[in-house]
Chains A and B, each alone.
With several copies, the nearest count.
Chain A
Amino acid sequence: MRVDVNGEPRELPDGSTITDLLQELKLDRRYLAVERNREVVPRERHNETRLVGGDQLEVVTLVGGG
């Protein structure tokens, strides 16, 4: 299936979860937050949350700011 991650299209196996996605992206999970279709998905629900074709995902972290 095709989802959008940080504005870029991406192919994922059907039934993938957010955890699957983050593993594939090799991101340090401690430092990030995930938004699915403009709603935050708390990290404790990353395992159970299955993605659907067309999902809009934002994976964000902290950077320097004032």
Chain B
Amino acid sequence: MSTDVSADTLRVGTHTLSSRLIVGTGKYATHAEMQKSLELSGTDCITVAVRRERLIDADGNNLLDFIDTERYTLLPNTAGCFNADDAVRVARLGREILLGLENPGADWVKLEVLSDTRTLLPDPVATIEATEMLVADGFQVLCYSTDDPVVARRLKEAGAASVMPAGSPIGSGQGILNPNNIRICMEYLKENDPDYPVIVDAGVGTASDVAEAMELGVDGVLLNTAVAHAADPYGMARAMRLATEAGRLAYLSGRIPKKLYATASSPEEGVISLKPR
């Protein structure tokens, strides 16, 4: 058997992405640094946030001046919302902007309904409620969630196009703290529906975290801080691109089982030396 990933695209609802890595546009030192980091990450889908226009001292220097909307599918998020109603308002405003940009991302949203400003952990109850409202309004909803398998299933039942469990808290860089929960999420979400997309969103800190996530069989990884705040965002963007592919390939290629110890890599017959005992 041989693994072909040339056509190994990430499908979420009606969208097809060539990269399994989704990258955020926040927290870079400069717009230019962001622009180059996105390019090096190999992603074709980037998240953006909706905020009030600065009415005075608008430097006329807008994020969108640094984003090729032909190249990237934008995924607007509802960051900063703490209840379902606000999340719906923000999602609609994002859609209105993307319609103006004629970007394919106009029909989807990354839903974030947070519970408090300190930990930025998602509120499962309000997230389920907002998912139902947004689905009713015609959105394809990608839900940022905890790794609770039951909440994940509830979100899918509410019509989510993808459930995106956090590996660990946003920006914590702790990687996948509970692979067991991610495994049960997959079991729930992919049961009789193997193509349902599960994306690990938030918490990854370095390349091996991304590879480990992909090796669990998730369909993609969404990250931001790990690249934007690395000492060298460009190097880390490339690392994340490679790690996503490495982890995906390793998952598809069927790793060896773990053992307490040891089987020889070199043949045991034909040795010229004496075996002990």
Contact = CB atoms under 8 A, between A and B. Distances in A.
A–B in direct contact per CB < 8 Å? yes
A28 B93 contact: no
Given A25-B55, A31-B62, A35-B93, A62 B49 contact: yes
Given A5-B55, A60-B272, A66 B100 contact: no
Given A6-B55, A31-B64, A61-B51, A66 B93 contact: no
B267 interface: yes
Contacts of B53: 6, 25, 27, 32, 59-61
Interface residues on B, range: 35 or more
Nearest to B264: A66
A21 to B, nearest CB: 10
Contacts of A63: 26, 48-51, 63, 266-267, 270
Interface string B70-99: 000010110100000000010011111101
Nearest to A5: B55
A8 interface: yes
Contacts of A8: 55
A58 B266 contact: no
B28 interface: yes
Contacts of A40: 92-93, 95-96
Interface residues of A, number: 28
A43 B202 CA distance: 34
B273 to A, nearest CB: 10
Contact of B94 (A25, A42, A62): A62
A58 B272 contact: yes
Given A25-B53, A61-B63, A66-B26, 17 more contacts: A6-B53, A30-B100, A42-B99, A59-B53, A60-B53, A60-B93, A61-B52, A61-B62, A62-B94, A63-B266, A63-B270, A64-B63, A64-B267, A65-B49, A66-B24, A66-B79, A66-B225
22 contacts: A5-B55, A31-B64, A31-B100, A33-B94, A35-B92, A40-B93, A58-B93, A59-B55, A61-B51, A61-B63, A61-B64, A61-B97, A62-B49, A64-B25, A64-B26, A64-B63, A64-B267, A65-B24, A65-B77, A66-B24, A66-B27, A66-B264
Interface of B: 24-28, 31, 34, 47-53, 55, 58, 60, 62-64, 74, 76-77, 79, 89, 92-97, 99-101, 170, 202, 222-225, 264-267, 270, 272
